[in-house]
Structure 1
Amino acid sequence: MTDVKRAERTRALARRAAAFANHGASAGARLAVHGLDFLAPAPGSIISGFSAIRDEIDPLALLTRLAGEGHRLALPVMQGKGLPLIFRAWAPGDEMGKVQWGIAEPLPDKPALDPDIVLVPLLAFDANGYRLGYGGGFYDRSLEGLRAKKPVVAVGIAYDELRIDAVPHLDYDERLDWVLTPSGPMRCTGT
């Protein structure tokens, strides 16, 4: 399965690079237009976004909208290889630290939060809610831990072009509940 995932990851990186070249920064703005109204999040919900790297869709405009709607925001922080992420409070304009792979993270003085909704970056997704990430398992471990504490909705953030028929997966791969693309939200059928 590792070789199958690795091969699909290579194809997905090429598809994502092409989608980024085609859509550029407009993709993030289109996510913000949709917002998370399809989830009807409770007032003050804790929503974790992410700091985009390389050719990922930048969710900053969406996160800014969500902050304006009164939601509490968080961003993931890496604790180390093989460990789940922690989610620290964040607001647009906060000072950030740079870590591995150039990812911006909230500073250590920000409190840890348990999000109600987790926005998840990805390389590929399917209608059943399986996603292909970078292979570190950070989001799978994190979602498993959060979901053991309370109901958590996982929303993949992706270009429409990253949808494939079937993502190779293993038993420990956590499913997405929804995927939000520039063309709109899609409820995953496997959840």
Structure 2
Amino acid sequence: MTSPTSKEILRQSLRQARDSYARALDPAERAGLEAAAIGRLRAVLGPGVWASYLAMGSEISPARVADNAPPDQPIAFPWFESREARMLFRLGGGVFSSGPFGIRQPPGTAPEMRPDWIIVPLVGVDPAGNRIGQGAGHYDRALQSLREDGRVTTIGLAWDVQLVDSIAADPWDQPLDLIITPSRTIRTRP
């Protein structure tokens, strides 16, 4: 098991690198890089329910994933009833409100969805699909539950600077199936 201190130090270092990288991009350059990543993402997304996230700060934004999607394509987003509750996915309909973590989420009345494809935010990732997120384990617990119930494909979306050589995985960490950056697509699992 990875020491919580060493994982937190790595998380802080990766977050700082991501923040510095994104701040240095002019708006047109950032838009171009995000468009390249979205193009790669759209090339791998298949049929079924997609789940995405609403980017915060220096995270690469998947907002344009719905561009050119079929008009009836269901896209779900993370949803929390409370800070202690398990993360669920609810259908996004363009109306979002602040959830218990201050993150925008669909309303509690939106239909709950079981995603087939999940675009996962991250702080850092290695070529084997081991990721470091915000540190609360919400995605790991949700992915474990979804994988117990059937197949789900997970896709980490990241700036190239967030890809590192190796991240020590803890037993509860859920690896990603694919990693998409503006310059590459990495398949980590068959």
| In 1: Cα distance, 2:83 partner to 2:167 partner | 23
Taking the aligned partners of 1:144 and 1:83, their CA distance within structure 2 comes to 15
Q: Where in structure 1 are there 5+ consecutive unaligned residues? A: none
> Which segments of structure 1 move beyond 4 Å, counting only runs of 4 or more?
none
Which residue pairs with 1:180 in the alignment?
180
> How far did residue 84 of structure 1 move?
2.7
The Cα of 1:127 is off from its aligned counterpart by: 0.9
**Over aligned residue pairs, what C-alpha RMSD do you find?**
1.8
Q: Which aligned pairs between 1:108-187 and structure 2 lie closer than 5 A?
A: 108-187=108-187
Correspondences of 1:1-191 after superposition (within 5 Å): 1-23=3-25, 24-39=30-45, 41-42=46-47, 45-68=48-71, 70-91=72-93, 94-188=94-188
Please report how far the alpha carbon of residue 67 of structure 1 lies from its aligned counterpart in structure 2 after TM superposition: 4.9
Q: 2: CA distance between counterparts of 1:87 and 1:19? A: 30
CA contact under 8 A between 1:47 and 1:74: conserved in structure 2? yes
**Is 138-147 or 30-39 further displaced after alignment?**
30-39
Distance in 2 between residues matched to 1:82 and 1:73, nearest whole Å: 24
Q: TM-score, normalised by structure 2?
A: 0.89
Letter in 1 for 2:59: E
Partner of 1:179, secondary structure, is: strand
Q: Displacement, 1:19?
A: 2.1
On the 8 A contact 1:120/1:155 being kept in 2, the answer is yes
How has the CA–CA distance of structure 1 residues 4 and 162 changed in structure 2, closer, same or farther, with 3 Å as cutoff? same
Q: Secondary structure at the residue paired with 2:67?
A: helix
Which structure carries more strand by proportion?
A: 1
Partner SS state of residue 26, structure 1 = helix
TM-score with structure 1 setting the length: 0.88
* Matched AA of 1:62: V
Task: Give distance in 1, aligned partners of 2:81 and 2:179.
Answer: 26
**Unpaired runs of at least 5, structure 2:** none
Counterpart code for 1:29: A
User: Is the alpha carbon distance of 1:120 and 1:67 closer, same or farther for their aligned partners in structure 2, counting shifts above 3 Å?
Assistant: farther
